[in-house]
């Protein structure tokens, strides 16, 4: 049962590999992900191993308490598989959107995977955190980490958010809204900063994407 969190961690680590390409300002850097088929096949192999062990336990006339515990374990495993499969779909979508993006980087709720952006202030790694409901919509935290040895300067960025409709190959941004955010200068390197995102007019369940672009240094 402990191998699933480890599997997810290995999959997320593999998602951070960067292919060689020329970097353009405001372009998302493509990441190498395992395909959804590869990940699902791995989870199915683990599930088969567990089920075989469970059947052996049953044929050995295990006590009812152990049988109940086994059923609970299988139920938990099924939930973890479902969550992992959903996360895999989101990672695949996020990767494709960023590979095709000419303006900024996409972060999708549920992908739980950072994305890198080459900007005027250097290469940044961005992560979407803590999406919660509020009275007038949703609130999220955007974590930005610099990858250079220099502290991040003060900067501004445009954040667009909304719903995604359609398929990964043919999608449309719906009810898109935007806001301007600012971050203070950092004193340490490597630098990271958390930016509060008030996402008005949309619930966490409706939120399909966040796109960050036009990162500009700000003179203080």
User: How confident is the model over 53-75, as pLDDT tens digits?
Assistant: 655 555 556 677 776 777 777 77
How far is it, in rounded angstroms, from Cα 69 to Cα 78? 14
**70 shares a domain with 13:** yes
Note the pLDDT of residue 28: 58
**92 shares a domain with 143:** no
Note the pLDDT of residue 38: 62
**67 shares a domain with 168:** no
Note the pLDDT of residue 73: 76
Read off the CATH number of the domain in which 155 is found: 2.60.40.1620
| Residue that finishes a domain, picked among 84, 99, 114 | 99
Residue 52, pLDDT above cutoff 90: no
What confidence tens digit (pLDDT) does each residue in 80-95 have?
A: 777 787 788 889 999 9
**86 shares a domain with 121:** no
Paired residues of 29 in beta bridges: 116
Full residue range of the structural domain in which residue 27 is found: 3-99
Note the pLDDT of residue 33: 47
**84 shares a domain with 127:** no
**191 shares a domain with 151:** yes
| Residue that finishes a domain, picked among 48, 75, 99 | 99
Q: Quote the number of domains for the chain.
A: 2
Range picked from 3-7, 101-105, 106-110, 165-169 for highest mean pLDDT: 106-110
Global confidence as pTM: 0.69
Note the pLDDT of residue 84: 81
| Residue that finishes a domain, picked among 70, 99, 128 | 99
**140 shares a domain with 60:** no
**109 shares a domain with 92:** no
Identify the CA nearest to 206 among candidates 111, 114, 109. Answer: 109
What confidence tens digit (pLDDT) does each residue in 6-19 have?
A: 544 554 544 444 33
Note the pLDDT of residue 22: 36
What confidence tens digit (pLDDT) does each residue in 112-168 have?
A: 999 999 999 999 999 999 899 999 999 999 999 998 888 999 999 999 999 998 876
**151 shares a domain with 70:** no
């Amino acid at each position: 049962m402990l191998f699933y969190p480890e599997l997810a961690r290995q999959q997320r680590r593999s998602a951070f590999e960067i292919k060689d390409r020329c970097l353009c300002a405001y372009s998302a850097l493509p990441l190498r992900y395992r395909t959804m088929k590869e990940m699902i096949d791995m989870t199915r192999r683990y599930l088969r191993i567990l089920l075989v062990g469970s059947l052996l336990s049953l044929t050995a006339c295990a006590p009812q308490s152990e049988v109940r515990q086994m059923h609970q374990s299988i139920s938990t495993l099924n939930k973890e598989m479902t969550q992992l499969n959903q996360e895999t779909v989101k990672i695949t979508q996020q990767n494709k959107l960023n590979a095709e993006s000419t303006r900024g980087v996409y972060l999708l709720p549920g992908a739980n995977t950072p994305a890198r952006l080459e900007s005027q202030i250097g290469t940044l790694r961005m992560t979407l955190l803590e999406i919660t409901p509020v009275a007038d919509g949703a609130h999220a935290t955007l974590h930005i980490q610099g990858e250079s040895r220099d502290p991040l300067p003060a900067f501004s960025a445009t954040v667009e958010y909304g719903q995604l409709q359609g398929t990964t190959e043919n999608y449309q941004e719906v009810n898109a809204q935007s806001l301007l955010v600012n971050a203070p200068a950092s004193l340490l390197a490597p630098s990271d900063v958390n930016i509060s995102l008030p996402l008005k007019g949309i619930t966490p369940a409706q939120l399909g994407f966040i796109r960050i672009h036009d990162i500009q240094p700000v003179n203080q």
